[in-house]
Structure 1
């Protein structure tokens, strides 16, 4: 699987395990514990997590899709900049 897909898969798995939302610290910790990505191969693996969340949230400036499309996966649970993210349209 390509690296981008692996990061998205890990972020989604983590947020699902956190009932659809979690802080960046919770996301980092869970991904680190799962050990499904070789984090040592990245200079700053935490920035990879943030980048993939931001690329897949219409609330962020770097989002390239359309609001509500299949790439619009995440939303800031509190105001943007608080580091608390959720899965858009999450259903258990």
Structure 2
């Protein structure tokens, strides 16, 4: 485990979040977006640094926008594998 090797406490886990690109393009910090999972994760880490007790969020495997669009039009992972094998 990386934490054991480094001997540090975990401040948080920042999930992949497409809203980071949007915030960067706007020139705004991601923490301003209250709906962003990454923004909430950064805020939680900052609160932990300040000494607050904030529980770690579970990072669920949420499909990206591109993955959701592929599934919507019928190019999900299972279908893509079948096409590669054919």
Q: State the TM bucket, normalised to the shorter chain.
A: under 0.3
Higher RCO by CA contacts (8 Å cutoff, separation 6 or greater): 1
Which structure dedicates a bigger proportion of its chain to helix?
2
Which structure dedicates a bigger proportion of its chain to strand?
1
TM-score, with structure 1 as normaliser:
0.23
For the pair shown, the structure with the greater C-alpha radius of gyration is 2
